[in-house]
């Protein structure tokens, strides 16, 4: 007999503060798996109504699955976090969309009836494990001209988008980046950011033990004049800079996903309801345009249009890739529906963890905006992909206002 699908809900999400990658970053002496273990423990602490034995799966992503980000991370981190040994787990890699894919993967199992409750998330310690560490790309991908060499360097793919769409100027990117810093600073001052963060113990050979309780990457002192003067490391006289792109970061995220009927049974909160999702492939040389076809597919399959979407959480890997999606749909660069609390340009982008950060922030926006029914989380993905998830606001009051 064919199984009927169930509604899938996002219950809650948390993250560590994001750090700067490198020997001077706050997590330089901290293991990657300890970051995500802390996240799992916090989710369990925040929801005593969820018996740990009711968790059916732990799906965790990392882009560089090596060292302390390897060894079937979902299973090992679950054990380290104190979950019952009966709770299984696995690892996922879809580069920047790792945590997003962890969520959609367990959502499929929940909808099918194979799972009731799952933990999904991701971690990236780019200080310990730079993107590409230990990989051995097949030389045929270049020699047989399957991709241009620039496809393997994310910053160069962003420059390629500028080439293809010259109206997406550096000036627009710098202004968008400044807005990201300013929106994050305001959200931080208003107490919006701290509600997601789980403090993380840190250790330094020089400074001893510490406590990470705030994001390290933001630059609230940013000015448009400062952005204009930054170097363009990916191309002489280029347009992509350290100011209009996300940095190299360390951090972990996690969330609880559940069948809506199970959430009601256990008394778990329902923060968002999943409507649908899509992933799409694009030319690897312009991977940043991936969110455009992914969003088109997701909307079509859901029977919605872009006019139905009242909130957007778009990953700011590069300002130009966000602007490419906004231009495609005729949305203003400074539309208040887009990344209301700033984005990865300010907060940071620890690759495989970022998808759940987008979702957690969208859940908060929904709670504050009951007049908005639908929102999306979307991101570009290395080697030429994009991913978009559409969510419904359970607090929706029936207004048509966006």
Q: What share of the chain is helix, strand, coil (3-state, %, to 5)?
A: 40, 20, 40
- How buried is 370 (Cβ within 10 angstroms: 0-12 exposed, 13-18 middle, 19+ buried)? middle
Question: So which residues are the catalytic ones?
Answer: 96, 349, 380
Residues 6+ away with beta carbon under 8 Å from 209? 201, 202, 203
Q: How far apart are the first and last CA of the chain?
A: 41
Are 216 and 248 in contact by the 8 Å Cβ rule? The answer is no
SS3 61: strand
Helices within 208-318 (DSSP H only): 224-228, 260-266, 291-302
Q: Measure the CA–CA gap between 335 and 331, rounded to whole angstroms.
A: 7
The single-letter DSSP state of residue 244 is: S
> Which residues on adjacent β-strands are paired with residue 211?
201
| Residue whose token pair is 């002489």 | 236
CA atoms within 13 A on the CB side of 193: 24
């Amino acid at each position: 007999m064919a199984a009927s699908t169930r509604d899938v809900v996002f219950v809650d999400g948390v993250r560590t503060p994001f750090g700067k990658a490198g020997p001077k970053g706050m997590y330089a002496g901290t293991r990657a798996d300890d970051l995500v273990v802390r996240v799992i423990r916090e989710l369990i602490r925040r929801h005593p109504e969820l018996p740990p034995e009711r968790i059916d799966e732990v799906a965790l992503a990392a882009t560089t699955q090596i060292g302390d980000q390897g060894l079937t991370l979902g299973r090992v981190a679950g054990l380290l976090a104190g979950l019952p040994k009966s709770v299984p787990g696995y690892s996922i890699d879809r580069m920047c969309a790792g945590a997003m894919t962890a969520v959609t993967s367990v959502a499929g199992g929940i909808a099918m009836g194979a799972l009731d409750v799952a933990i999904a998330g991701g971690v990236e310690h780019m200080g310990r494990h730079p993107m590409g560490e230990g990989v051995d790309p097949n030389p045929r991908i270049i020699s047989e001209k399957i991709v241009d060499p620039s496809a393997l360097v994310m910053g160069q793919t962003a420059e390629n988008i500028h080439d293809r769409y010259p109206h997406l100027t550096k000036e627009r990117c710098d202004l968008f980046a400044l807005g990201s810093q300013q929106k994050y600073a305001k959200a931080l001052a208003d107490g919006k950011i701290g509600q997601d963060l789980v403090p993380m113990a840190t250790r330094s050979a020089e400074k001893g033990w510490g406590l990470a309780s705030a994001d390290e990457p933001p630059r609230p002192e940013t000015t448009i004049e400062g952005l204009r003067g930054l170097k363009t490391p990916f191309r002489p006289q280029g347009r992509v800079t350290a100011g209009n792109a996300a940095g190299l970061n360390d951090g972990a995220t996690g969330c609880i996903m559940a069948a809506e009927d199970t959430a009601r049974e256990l008394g778990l909160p329902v923060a968002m309801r999943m409507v649908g999702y899509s992933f799409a492939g694009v030319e690897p040389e312009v991977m940043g345009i991936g969110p455009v076809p992914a969003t088109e597919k997701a909307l079509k399959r859901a029977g919605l249009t872009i006019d139905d979407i009242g909130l957007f959480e778009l990953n700011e890997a590069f300002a130009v890739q966000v602007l490419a999606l906004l231009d495609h749909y005729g949305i203003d660069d400074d539309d208040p529906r887009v990344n209301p609390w700033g984005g990865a340009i300010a907060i940071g982008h620890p690759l495989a963890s970022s998808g759940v950060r987008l979702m957690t922030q969208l859940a908060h926006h929904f709670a504050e905006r009951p007049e908005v029914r639908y929102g999306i989380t979307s991101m570009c993905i290395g080697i030429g992909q994009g991913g978009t998830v559409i969510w419904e606001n359970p607090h929706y009051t029936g207004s048509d206002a966006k």
